[in-house]
Amino acid sequence: MSTTAALVERARRDDRAAFEALLALHGRTLLAVARAGTRNSVDAEEVFQEGTMRIWRSLASLESGDRFVAWSCSVVQHAARDRARREKVRRAAPLTDRPAPPASGPSEQRRRRIVDAVRSMPAPLAEVIELFYFGGLSYAEIANAIEMSVPTVNSRLTKARALLRRTLEQEDPNHD
Amino acid sequence: MTDRMPSGDPERIDADLNAYLDHELAAEERAAIEQRIAQEPELAQRLEDLRTLDSDLRDSYAQSPDQAEAAISRISLPRPGRLTWFAIPAAVAAGILIGLAMQAQPTAPAVPTMLGVVSVATGELTVRTGTRDEPAPGGSLLPESAIVSADDSTRGSIQLTDGSLLRLDRGASIRLVKNREIEVIRGRVWSRVSPGEPFHLLAGETSITVLGTELALQRTDARTHLQLFSGRARVEAAGATRDLAAGQEVAFEKGKLAPTRRIHSVAIATGWMLELHAFAGGRDDALADHMDRLLTDLGRTKMISIDERTVIEELHTVCRVPVARYLVSEGARTETAMRQKAARVLAEIADRSVMPTLLQALHDEDSAVRISTAEAIRMVSNAAACADPSVFRYRNEASLSATQAAQAWWANQTGAHRR
């Protein structure tokens, strides 16, 4: 039995430490999914918290502990969609993160543009970027987390990077 | 971008280039695209463009490494069937694993404060809480006051809730006294202490206070020996005090704290951990020290003054060792871009002679350095010591495990050579 499956078994028996260990192991992945489905880090954290509550409450419905990552990612995806439906502002409102701290130089500005550009991407493309760079997952792990094939992950990451590059070039044609 | 498009299916080539960049291609596909890159300058240029974008993305995401930590720490689980809420001030380490410090509300039953989790063990560690001894495989939670022991055939890693990392050599035993206080009961322990409040290490009569740093401590009945690889530490024993800087060591023996002296080779000092015993013998201290500095300076000069392709294609036989020494040197710690360059060069040269240094560089703070280093190890070992460099993107359970696998492979190789 994998470490994750063992922790799921313990968490089902109301073992909070085990659930916390699950969050420690996979929280970054879940937060990456939440970030991809929201417009800013405040929304992302709320979706992450809501998703985490749903996971905790419905652990008993998970058939196999080995499917925890894919299942919990889908729970967070649903939480993000529910929130978007409720507020109907997703992808329509301007970014609402707090103003960026004073830029320390061109690289800081570019970083800010990159983060904003990723957030304005279609969710499926933003999702692979978040899982890859923020979650630190491999293609196979992303495929497992959001239940798609490895070639699809490859294809989406390729499209996401191409889109990001075009967006950055349009914003700042002189860069590089 | 289309004006640079090479022959073939453009979408497929794009996808392959991305997968190549991400270390996601199988060996055959990798060789095929490398051949094309070598023959088609426009492809090489596109790869460079992708590398730039990839580097920017990594940079951007590295700016908020604590978001996951903060978000997880704010999670409050409702207690099923009750109204009591449970606060969990979890701390997530710089990598991914982590924090389990739980404090109950007055109305909830007392829960011991968790100070760590076993992240990797080559066999089975044992944990004693109170009077009970229990096996502690990977994933085991370690409460305050727990004594963790490794038997004579097991080495293990413990991720502490404050982000620090402990590694126990065979036969070592420690007590997690409280947050940021560890007692070494016996044996050899290596630690990378996360920055923050002072961290205390106790070993018999010796008390050591460190801030964020990397060190090794060995305790036997007769002797306590500390080696400091980075940061600063204060050692107190028998009324004497020694302040150590990076690269120094000190011993407490026969009731006396010896003067500090320089560690002549980090590779040797951490040999137990890196499975590098084969390289630990028969060296003159002063000469080793001098050679280390000389090679490091040489490697840095080459990284500054010579472009990457020239080093790889024309100077690889004379550059590989200096570049490797530079990569793991103290001076390179603040030069991330140069370390990345050095790691890429070593990945291309992929020479067995620098394998010991490559194993050290798997612990680099920068993910791009670790991945390139892992790629070098993959090439040197023909994928036997490292099949998937991308696992080194983060310092987590998987990468620790992969590091140990690479170390074990090399130990096996060097053991075979000695025979």
Nearest residue on chain B to A17, alpha-carbon basis: B100
Between B98 and B232, where is the model more confident? B232
Per DSSP, what are the bridge partners of residue B159?
A: B117, B165
**Inter-chain contact B393–A136, Cβ cutoff 8 Å?**
yes
pLDDT tens for residues B240-273? Answer: 999 988 878 899 988 899 998 887 655 445 544 4
Q: Are A136 and B398 in contact (CB under 8 A)?
A: no
Q: Angle at CA A160, nearest 5°, toward A158 and A161? A: 65
For residue B120, the model assigns a pLDDT of 66
- Integer-rounded Cα Rg, in Å, for chain A is 17
A36 and chain B in contact, CB less than 8 A:
no
Q: pTM for this one?
A: 0.44
Interface test with A, best of B18, B58, B144, B401 (most A CBs within 10 A): B18
Inter-residue long-range contacts of B68-71, CB under 8 Å, 24+ positions, other chains counted: B68/A27, B68/A28, B68/A31, B68/A134, B68/B92, B68/B96, B69/B93, B69/B99, B70/A45, B71/A27, B71/A31, B71/A44, B71/A45, B71/A48, B71/A49
pLDDT tens for residues B288-297? Answer: 454 466 567 7
Rounded to whole angstroms, the Cα distance separating B46 from B157 reads 41
B71 and chain A in contact, CB less than 8 A:
yes
For residue B295, the model assigns a pLDDT of 65
Distance from CA of A97 to the nearest CA of B (A): 14
Q: Are B249 and B233 in contact (CB under 8 A)?
A: no
Collapsed DSSP state (helix, strand, coil) of residue B60: helix
Compare CB distances from A28 to B14, B68, B390 and report the shortest one's residue: B68
Residues of chain A with pLDDT under 50: 89-106, 176
Interface test with A, best of B51, B75, B366 (most A CBs within 10 A): B75
Nearest residue on chain A to B66, alpha-carbon basis: A28
**Inter-chain contact B80–A134, Cβ cutoff 8 Å?**
no
Per DSSP, what are the bridge partners of residue B208?
A: B201, B235
Rounded to whole angstroms, the Cα distance separating B197 from B172 reads 25
Query: Is the sign of the CA dihedral A107, A111, A114, A120 positive or negative?
Result: negative
Collapsed DSSP state (helix, strand, coil) of residue B85: strand
A114 and chain B in contact, CB less than 8 A:
yes
Q: Which two tokens stand for residue B78?
A: 């409702």
Conformation bin of residue B130: beta by default, left when phi > 0, alpha when psi is -120 to 50: left
Using a pLDDT cut of 70, give the percent of chain B over it.
72
pLDDT band at B57 (very low <50, low <70, confident <90, very high): confident
Partners of A56 on chain B (C-beta within 8 Å) are 77-78
Nearest residue on chain B to A52, alpha-carbon basis: B75
Partners of B161 on chain A (C-beta within 8 Å) are none
Phi, psi of B138 (to 5 degrees): -55, 135
Rounded to whole angstroms, the Cα distance separating A24 from A7 reads 11
Partners of A21 on chain B (C-beta within 8 Å) are 100, 117, 139, 141
Q: Is B336 exposed, middle or buried (0-12, 13-18, 19+ CB in 10 A)?
A: middle
| Segment holding B184, helix H or strand E | strand B181-193
Partners of B64 on chain A (C-beta within 8 Å) are 41
Inter-residue long-range contacts of B337-342, CB under 8 Å, 24+ positions, other chains counted: B338/B300, B338/B303, B338/B304, B339/B364, B339/B366, B339/B369, B340/B55, B340/B366, B340/B368, B340/B369, B340/B372, B341/B303, B341/B308, B342/B299, B342/B303, B342/B369
Partners of A53 on chain B (C-beta within 8 Å) are 77-78
For residue B149, the model assigns a pLDDT of 95
pLDDT tens for residues B290-324? Answer: 446 656 776 777 777 677 777 777 666 667 777 88
Partners of A164 on chain B (C-beta within 8 Å) are 53, 57
